[in-house]
Chain A
């Protein structure tokens, strides 16, 4: 019996480095396999629904360029050099985008409500309702140890550390580099809180293809777990909060409409329980506003003043017709060729009209995508053709 064989060899290191190299290799291989598997799982689950909206190449407008502000100009220049964003069909890639590309990508991703103009069928069983916080609608992306919020036009609102998965560089952040979140939020200035109204990706998993019902459940169960709803701290600059969501039955509607909430209300949002998250306007998400539930029931100008007349923005088409930006567009009227010639308007321009007793009045126009508007004189035009 040679029992000392099993004893640690006298005065020798316990570990053989060769065995250690083997073990480290095996660990690395297992980790790589996990990553590859995880990537495969996340990748394709987003492919179907996440084709970014068709990107129209910018139409350089020489006349207008002269009037553009320098910042916008550089943006258009980078357009020319930009990668083809259509290649980005994966939110995971999108979460890594930076600068102008990120701006452009995120500008197209928010799900936007339509106005509620009639009562959908099965409202009481198939819909949720909640009081919408007033504030800046934005996407909040946590990845790579930082959190970035982006407004509707894709521009950055805040860059900050947060308790969201991978949202801050903390030593106890055990999430892998692939873990990231994309939340649909409203930033509410008065209490400096991000109210989360929907979730697009959570901890690396895409929820695009999940029903509203599931996404809300997921959000409610996950957000609190992370500590993102806690008061701000060093590694968590802004508080996050969910909003109370109700079934659209009598009671739910009543609470959403009249019940107290910790934020300023801006109308009611109705969400279809079975809808998937979808970028752009959708009839499966509806907004209702009236003076009881919103301060902003009517248009205001830049200074917050209510203009004399309500306004509408329509797109000028090639044939002079005016269309809403609904999908499919609704033709609202048309401009005469003379007027177009006289004003130098071009197809694709967005025009602002005032709604008056007799129809629409032209108040101004903007260049698509730039958010850039010029006031013009009011001109009557024929409407409701």
Chain B
């Protein structure tokens, strides 16, 4: 086959030609993968071929090795590993040769492919000679080869975790990279590639950064590079500094003065991309210190792993003025442009972080700036002053801020109505929102909003909702936080007299012609939701009217026909917002018996509307409707049965929605609501639902986060249908058992994996709990007896792993009680023999978490009833408190033979290593590898 031609055709303007070429390529790949990969590599390697076909060949190669979706990525990795060794060697050798090609695009593409192969092979201890051969490249050859090799090293460091590379090789890589960065490296391309490679290699340099000499050297080279005449090199050097600030905070003390000088010069004098990175350095340092201080938790005698050097506090006198200057560099249209990011924005964001880091100390440094600029004729100065004020509202104590805010409030309200600049109004409304967010609510002693100023505040904000969309959106946000501050008031809310006016204004906003701009419509509905959530009984009658209004809106939107695709998208968005609003209202009215019955008269109509919403194809809308239906089921209780015949198909659809896994997750949650509402009336639907849930669990396409809730859902179903769950036991129990085995141990897992494991454990335990309780008092209880040893063993193991979170602990100890409660004496002897039952129970009984304690006390009761020999006198209350006598005999319970029906729980691939990934590259996908 003439690959070149096909590759060129695949980029043709004519879509028929293109499609045909794509099909040909697909066929080739399916019929002969090794041949396909070899010929693509050959294409990329051949300097005689056109650049376009070479680039595409490389891209297809790269995409054959990696994918975004976890399950496909896994598939590709396995596929590569199972290729013939000779084929792989040939491809790899060829790729390495391309690094010497005179064509830059070919080199760059090859270096990315090499990194992908390394990402697969290095963890498996394959391709051991790779790093060696790359390093030989560096020492001998022309600049372009050096450049390509450094680039490859950078990409490689991005793909693999530090653990898979020996320290010896790390040393050599770093030496090569730092040499390439050195000021006496004459070639800028080489120097840039080296600087960018260092950015990725920093995470590998733990040992080197612990060595003073090596660290000093690296730091010197980075600082020198930050002064390079080349913008790109300077930017890359600052990116390295940001990353060093995050990864090696504790090593920075001796460099921080120099770094301050470099960054502040860059912020004031350099071009924007470089200046933004210089500000970012200080934002990262704030992040670090906020984290460290959080960990101290105010207890400064405690040993934190990382000491806090208070760099930010020490730098305040110079740092704050530098940041304040940036605030004056606004862009004219930044309030309209959602993706805008400029010096003023970065500076304000950093100022906010500084305030959170140092608290009260920032106030005296900022106040003079505000006072000087807030009344100036130039809008930039007034806006900057207001923005500075808004930025520092989170961090300092209410005591410190309160006097200032009380003075500023009136000024702000006037500015919001009278200031001629829309920018100033925008920032003023935002600042009011921040005031209400951080300084208004039950936690603040002296309220900012008083009977005297409440009316004025609301009047001004409602008036601002008629202003330009960006200003109106901020005014909605201010009302949102204003309402939220009253969420704890019990019977009477100061907002009650204004409730009707606020709701009315918000509804008017949703109908504005320009409500699509600046997220205005969304903000208005979100605010409406919060106002409803935080309302009290005094306004119930108005909420009952609001239901009808929102229902009418939804009806109207569903009636609209013959829409353009753009209009349809807008309509979907609106329907999502309306469903969200109805969900909030249902939950509010359903919460008390009085309002519930008043609301239920609309239940049929609302359900009818929700069912029609499912005709739309938008996932977000489905999710919102599903959430609202969950709230409705909870409110209607057993009456929900009548909606099931029609609703069932959408339920099934939701459970099948692997692609938009949020919809699937929400549907699983709603299944729980429906089980609790319908109880045994759900039985006729259970076969279908269980089949779907079991399929979901076995699928490797479904996002793993949905799987724990599915286990919990088994528990909900079992609790609802009781012994009728019998027929599902043969499928569910083996799945629970194999999942339990997978989630038993976490050794070597990172935090994210431990968190997932705990979610999984909780789901499994909730399933056991529901099944055990469901079968209680049934003659079929004995069906569960064979599973008891495994459940106890699972409890033993996770107890001994000592990495349960509180939620799992609470559920786990409950399951111990459920075993005793349901199985009675059948479980008694097993519990007595359980290795850790006694210790575990005691630990839970003395827990500070009241949910754990409550569960444990219940478990203790249940066990006491079952386990004989609870012979302890009342006069020995204390000893008794230390534990019921569960015995301490270690009996090894043999793992039961499993049916081969395993759930796929995505344990084999945990995604990129977060330790390596998290700090240096916060953007996640913000890496350089295209």
Genuine A/B complex: yes
User: Could you list which residues of chain A lie within 8 angstroms of chain B, going by C-beta atoms?
Assistant: 1-8, 10-13, 17-18, 21-22, 24-26, 28-29, 32-34, 36-38, 40-41, 44-45, 47, 128, 174, 203, 205, 207, 209-211, 213-214, 216-217, 220-221, 245-247
Q: Is B862 an interface residue (CB 8 A)?
A: yes
Q: Is B630 an interface residue (CB 8 A)?
A: yes
* Number of CB contacts from chain A to chain B under 8 A: 161
Contact between chains at A29 and B872 (CB < 8 Å): no
Q: List 7 interface pairs A-B (beta carbons < 8 Å), by A numbering.
A: A1-B199, A6-B922, A17-B530, A21-B580, A203-B857, A205-B857, A220-B877
Q: How large is the interface on B (under 10, 10 to 19, 20 to 34, 35 or more residues)?
A: 35 or more
Nearest CB of chain B from residue A82's CB, rounded to whole Å? 22
With known contacts A25-B631, A37-B770, A41-B858, A4–B865 Cβ distance under 8 A = no
Query: Contacting B349 at CB < 8 Å: which of A4, A216, A245?
Result: A4
List the B side residues contacting A41 at CB < 8 Å. Answer: 773, 814, 817-818, 821, 858, 862
Q: Is B395 an interface residue (CB 8 A)?
A: no
6 pairs of A and B residues whose beta carbons are closest in the complex: A17-B526, A40-B773, A6-B922, A216-B874, A11-B430, A10-B345
In the complex, which residues 322-352 of chain B have their Cβ closer than 8 Å to any Cβ of chain A? 334-335, 340-341, 345-346, 348-349, 352
Contact between chains at A1 and B716 (CB < 8 Å): no
CA distance A29 to B854 in the complex (A): 19
Query: Contacting A11 at CB < 8 Å: which of B427, B620, B666?
Result: B427
CA distance A33 to B773 in the complex (A): 12
List the B side residues contacting A214 at CB < 8 Å. Answer: 861, 864, 870
Query: Contacting B426 at CB < 8 Å: which of A4, A11, A33, A209?
Result: A11
Contact between chains at B676 and A13 (CB < 8 Å): no
Contact between chains at A28 and B874 (CB < 8 Å): no
Contact between chains at B926 and A128 (CB < 8 Å): no
User: Could you list which residues of chain B lie within 8 angstroms of chain A, going by C-beta atoms?
Assistant: 199, 239, 242, 276-277, 280, 283, 334-335, 340-341, 345-346, 348-349, 352, 426-427, 430, 433, 474, 477, 480-481, 522, 525-526, 529-530, 576, 580, 583-584, 587, 620, 624, 627, 630-631, 634, 666, 669, 672-673, 676, 712, 715-716, 719, 766, 769-770, 773-774, 776-777, 814, 817-818, 821, 850-851, 854, 857-858, 861-862, 864-865, 870-875, 877, 880-881, 921-923, 926-928
Contact between chains at A29 and B529 (CB < 8 Å): no
Contact between chains at A17 and B873 (CB < 8 Å): no
Contact between chains at B340 and A10 (CB < 8 Å): yes
CA distance A44 to B776 in the complex (A): 8
With known contacts A1-B921, A21-B584, A21-B627, A217–B862 Cβ distance under 8 A = no
Of chain B, the residue at the smallest CB distance from A207 is: B861
Interface of B is mostly: helix
List the A side residues contacting B716 at CB < 8 Å. Answer: 33, 36
List the B side residues contacting A8 at CB < 8 Å. Answer: 349, 352
Given A29-B673, A128-B874, output 6 extra A-B contacts at Cβ < 8 Å: A3-B277, A4-B341, A7-B346, A21-B580, A25-B666, A33-B712
Contact between chains at B874 and A217 (CB < 8 Å): yes
CA distance A238 to B871 in the complex (A): 34
Contact between chains at B580 and A18 (CB < 8 Å): yes
Nearest CB of chain B from residue A3's CB, rounded to whole Å? 5
List the A side residues contacting B672 at CB < 8 Å. Answer: 29, 32-33
CA distance A220 to B877 in the complex (A): 8
Could you say which of A2, A10, A205 has the most chain B C-beta atoms within 10 Å of its C-beta? A10
List the A side residues contacting B922 at CB < 8 Å. Answer: 3, 5-6
List the A side residues contacting B872 at CB < 8 Å. Answer: 213, 217
List the A side residues contacting B923 at CB < 8 Å. Answer: 1-3, 5-6
Contact between chains at B821 and A45 (CB < 8 Å): yes
List the B side residues contacting A213 at CB < 8 Å. Answer: 870-874
Of chain A, the residue at the smallest CB distance from B668 is: A29
Contact between chains at A22 and B773 (CB < 8 Å): no
With known contacts A4-B341, A6-B923, A207-B861, A32–B673 Cβ distance under 8 A = yes
Nearest CB of chain B from residue A221's CB, rounded to whole Å? 6
Nearest CB of chain A from residue B253's CB, rounded to whole Å? 23
List the B side residues contacting A33 at CB < 8 Å. Answer: 672, 676, 712, 715-716, 766
Nearest CB of chain B from residue A275's CB, rounded to whole Å? 13
List the B side residues contacting A217 at CB < 8 Å. Answer: 872, 874, 877, 880-881
Contact between chains at A221 and B427 (CB < 8 Å): no
CA distance A13 to B526 in the complex (A): 11
Of chain A, the residue at the smallest CB distance from B276 is: A4
Nearest CB of chain A from residue B212's CB, rounded to whole Å? 28
Nearest CB of chain A from residue B508's CB, rounded to whole Å? 19
Query: Contacting A45 at CB < 8 Å: which of B666, B712, B862?
Result: B862
Nearest CB of chain B from residue A21's CB, rounded to whole Å? 6
Contact between chains at B861 and A205 (CB < 8 Å): yes
With known contacts A44-B777, A247-B873, A37–B529 Cβ distance under 8 A = no
List the A side residues contacting B862 at CB < 8 Å. Answer: 41, 45
Query: Contacting A36 at CB < 8 Å: which of B276, B676, B817?
Result: B676
Nearest CB of chain A from residue B562's CB, rounded to whole Å? 29
CA distance A338 to B346 in the complex (A): 107
Nearest CB of chain A from residue B632's CB, rounded to whole Å? 12
List the B side residues contacting A47 at CB < 8 Å. Answer: 777
Contact between chains at B426 and A245 (CB < 8 Å): no
List the B side residues contacting A29 at CB < 8 Å. Answer: 630, 669, 672-673
With known contacts A1-B923, A21-B583, A21-B584, A210–B777 Cβ distance under 8 A = no
List the A side residues contacting B774 at CB < 8 Å. Answer: 40
Contact between chains at A28 and B283 (CB < 8 Å): no
